[in-house]
Amino acid sequence: MRLGVNIDHVATLRQARGEAYPSVVDAAHVCLNNGADQITIHLREDRRHIQDTDVEAIRLVTKKFGKPLNLEIGVDPEIVDIAIATAPDWICVVPEKREERTTEGGLDLHEPQNFERIKAACAKLKKEIPNVLISLFVEADEATIRAAKNIECDALEIHTGDFARAHLNGEDTSHFLEQFRGSKKLCEELSLGHHAGHGLTLESVEPLVQEKLFVEYNIGHWIICQAVFDGLGNVVKKLKEKLS
């Protein structure tokens, strides 16, 4: 099972004071040196953490290590053009609202205009970036997954935020696990990769790993928070061991 480390919140700390530190380039090096399978970053329209120059710099780091860069983007034309110029290995298309604190849920693929915008953006990315792989950030429901199959994509990243919050609060998570089993089966039938992301921690990822529900986990906020106490390299190493 692959571990993608999202280093957005290293940039959040940097932007809070407008300093040159902490370095996202150094963070990428530490993560890859300690077992991360890829680096994930989200270039938002509002540039609240990752900046345009960060994308280029981190791309160079991942190339040096021979590991993928997974670039999360909305379908704003300017952001799509930056993705094309950077040519990452993976692009994860996510919903984006300026007023949200963080991504609040999966893409809406049922509203016709939104569906067409996402479909057109993915077609453009596939045309302009040779061999790029695309994932769509979605909820684990059958109608959405079937709609996603009509878009040029290679995998679905399932929104695990509600599951992770319920796990953190000690609530029953059995219905989430049942949803994930269903989404895994359907993705296999449709020949789509089955990835997971949002809100996961070392503890909440365990039941998912035990059942081998996903082939890739993208985890960020908890890693950066725990790194305050344990060090970034140690946290990445421990999480990668959990996935092995």
pLDDT in tens, 81-137: 999 999 999 999 999 765 555 556 899 999 999 999 999 999 999 999 999 999 999
Torsion angles phi and psi, residue 142, rounded to 5: -60, -45
Q: Which of 174, 76, 186, 81 is nearest to 138 (CA)?
A: 186
- What residues have CB less than 8 Å from 213, skipping those under 6 apart? 177, 180, 181, 184, 194, 196
Distance CA 237, CA 244 (A): 11
Catalytic residue, from 9, 49, 159, 198: name it.
Answer: 198
**Catalytic residue at 42?**
yes
Domains, the chain, in order of start with CATH, read: 2-243 (3.20.20.70)
For range 223-228, the mean pLDDT: 98
**Catalytic residue at 128?**
no
For the chain, the farthest-separated pair of C-alpha atoms sits apart, in whole angstroms, at: 48
pTM: 0.95
Catalytic residue, from 29, 49, 72, 167: name it.
Answer: 72
pLDDT tens per residue across span 128-166: 999 999 999 999 999 999 999 999 999 999 999 999 999
**Catalytic residue at 175?**
no
Catalytic residue, from 42, 159, 194, 195: name it.
Answer: 42
Residue 236: exposed, middle, or buried by beta-carbon count in 10 A (0-12, 13-18, 19+)?
Answer: buried
Give, in degrees to the nearest 5, the angle at Cα 208 between 205 and 213: 140
